[in-house]
Structure 1
Amino acid sequence: MKKWVLLAVGVVLALIGAVWVLQGIGVITGSFMTGQKLWFLIGLVAFLVGVVLIVATLTRRTPKKTT
């Protein structure tokens, strides 16, 4: 898979996860997710997976092409 695709997926997951965490703990209001522990946990998992993808993508070395 292309490096930029993994990076983009990681960024999107981290951002969505952060919003869900903030909704789950009640910082962002106006949604059925507000104040719900389930959405806090789902958001935390999504955020952590996104961060792992970002870090793994940025630290991964690309193999040199041999001819």
Structure 2
Amino acid sequence: MVKAAYVLGTLLVLVGLVWIGQGSGYFPYPAESFMIDQTPWIYWGALAAAAGAVVIAQARRRSR
């Protein structure tokens, strides 16, 4: 169960970083993506990355 939480948390952080990159225009891939240069995706990405960090922190706490 702890390994699944680590995987889920890591995926959330990575997806959040991609969303932040696309929303800010630093990661314009694919070029026809509707997320490029759209500020709301920066906020959604930050929320997803923060949620992933919380999941990882809880998994670390449970593994002790």
- 4+ aligned runs moved over 2 Å, structure 1: 59-62
Question: Is the radius of gyration larger for structure 1 or structure 2?
Answer: 1
TM-score normalised by length of structure 1: 0.82
User: Counterpart of 1:38?
Assistant: 40
| % identical equivalent positions | 33
TM-score normalised by length of structure 2: 0.85
User: Counterpart of 2:2?
Assistant: 3
Mind listing any 5+ residue stretches in structure 1 that lack a counterpart? 63-67
1:1-67 → structure 2 map (5 Å cutoff):
2-29=1-28, 30=31, 31-61=33-63
The one of the two structures with greater contact order (alpha-carbon pairs below 8 A, sep at least 6) is: 2
Query: Number of residues paired by the alignment?
Result: 61
Mind listing any 5+ residue stretches in structure 2 that lack a counterpart? none
* Deviations 1:28-51 (CA, angstroms, capped at 9, x unpaired): 112210110111111110000001
